[in-house]
Amino acid sequence: MAQLHWTLFPSSSLLLLLCLLPLLHASTGDSDPIYRACVDQCEKTGCVGKNCFQHCKFSSDGKSIDGPWYLQEPLYLRWKQWDCRSDCRYNCMLAREEEREQLGHKPIKYHGKWPFRRVYGIQEPVAVALSALNLSMQFHGWLSFFILLYYKLPLRSDKRTYYEYTGLWHIYGILSMNSWFWSAVFHSRDVELTEKLDYSSAVALLGFSLILSILRAFNVRDEAARVMVAAPLIAFVTTHILYLNFFKLDYGLNMKVCVAMGVVQLLVWAIWAGITCHPSRWKLWFVVVGGGLAMLLEIHDFPPYQGFVDAHALWHATTIPLSYFWWSFIRDDAEFRTSILLKKIK
C-alpha cells in the first residue's frame, strides 16, 4: 500500500497523508507478463526456481497434502497469514527484480508496494521498528506529562489539576499510541484487517486532534461549549469509520475527509501560533516547519535501499524528534496555564 502521512504534528501526522493516497491495487509490476507467469506457475507447482513452499503442496482435490499451512509454518510466522499466493507473489517479485537489476532497470511497485525484503516474516522491518520507536516516544511524552501534572505542579484541594486540558491531552496520548501501534502492525503484515485498523485509528486520531486544536486555540473551557464543539465532530468521525469498516473502504472519500480535517487543523494551530504570546510558541513553529520539511520525503518517494529503507521509513524517523518537541510544548503549556491560574487565585 502506498502510504503517506501529513507531517503537521507528529501524532495527527500519523495518517493524514496515509489517508491521502488510495491503495494501489494495480501497479507496473502487476502487469509485467514475466511476473504474472511466474505467479501462475508457482501457484500450480508450489515453487519459484529452487524455492518451494510447503503450504503450496496440493492433492488432486485441491487440499494441502500435509494439512493446513498454519500447522506447518514456524510459530512466529503463523499469525501473519502467509499463504501460497502471497509467498508466490513475494518470491516472484524478488526473482523478477533481480532480473531487472541485471538489465539495469530501476525497481518498480507490485500491488501498490515497493519490493521490500521480509525479515522473519515482517514485510517492512525498518518501518515497523521506527513505528515502535514512535510509539515509545508517545508513551514517554504522555508519561512525562502525567508526572508533571500530578507530581510536580500544584494540585487543587480535591487533587484535580489546575490545567484545564488535562483530560483532553490524556485521550490524545492514548489515541496517538494506538495509531502508532497499528501502524507497526500494518507495516508488519498488510492484510484487510490490519489496513482497516490502521486507517480507523488514524482517522480517530486526526478527528480528535482537530477537536483539541479548536478547544485549545480558542481557549474553550466551559464544558457545555466543549460538548457543542466536540459532539458533531465525534459523530461525523464515528460515522465515517463505521462506513469504511462495514460498508465500503472508499479511499477517495477517506482522502477528502482527511484532507479537510487536516487543513482546518493546520490553519487553527498556525494562526494561533502567529497571534499568541505563549512563551513556547517557537516549539509549535518548529514542529510545523519541521513537519512540512519532512513531508518532502513523502512527496519525493523512492524505492527502498537494499530492499529495506524507503522514503516512508525515513519519514517515520523524522517524526521521532518532532514528537519530542510536540510533547515538550504540551508540558510547557500545562505549566504556563497553571502559573496563570495560580496568579489569579493569589
Q: What is the pLDDT of residue 143?
A: 97
Eight-state DSSP code of residue 48: E
Cα dist from 286 to 8, 200, 291, whole Å: 10, 28, 8
Q: What is the pLDDT of residue 28?
A: 75
Q: What is the pLDDT of residue 231?
A: 97
d(CA 157, CA 46): 70
Bigger pLDDT: 17 or 290?
290
Q: What is the pLDDT of residue 258?
A: 83
Q: What is the pLDDT of residue 112?
A: 76
Q: What is the pLDDT of residue 17?
A: 52
User: What's the rounded mean pLDDT across residues 269-279?
Assistant: 91
Closest CA to 6 of 191, 205, 193, 174: 205
User: Contact, 258 vs 15, CB < 8 A?
Assistant: yes
d(CA 272, CA 120): 47
Burial (CB count <10 Å: 0-12, 13-18, 19+), residue 226: middle
Grid cell locating 243 = 462506513
pLDDT (tens digit per residue) in 202-220 = 899 999 999 999 999 999 9
Q: 62-76, 123-137, 161-175, 179-193: which has the minimum mean pLDDT?
A: 62-76
Bigger pLDDT: 14 or 60?
14
Q: What is the pLDDT of residue 178?
A: 96
Q: What percent of the chain has pLDDT over 70?
A: 83
Q: What is the pLDDT of residue 207?
A: 95
pLDDT of residue 70 exceeding 70, the answer is: no
pLDDT of residue 10 exceeding 70, the answer is: no
CA 57 to chain centre: 36
First vs last C-alpha separation in the chain? 57
Q: What is the pLDDT of residue 74?
A: 53
Q: 74-78, 178-182, 188-192, 301-305: which has the minimum mean pLDDT?
A: 74-78
CA 201 to chain centre: 8
Q: 63-77, 148-162, 209-223: which has the minimum mean pLDDT?
A: 63-77
pLDDT class of 166 with cuts at 50, 70, 90: very high
Grid cell locating 25 = 491495487
pLDDT class of 57 with cuts at 50, 70, 90: low
Grid cell locating 187 = 507495516
pLDDT of residue 15 exceeding 60, the answer is: no
Q: Which residues of 6-38 are buried (b: 16+ CB within 10 A; e: fewer)?
A: bbbbbbbbbbbbbbbbeebeebebbebeebeeb
Q: Output the CA torsion sign for 236, 238, 242, 244.
A: positive
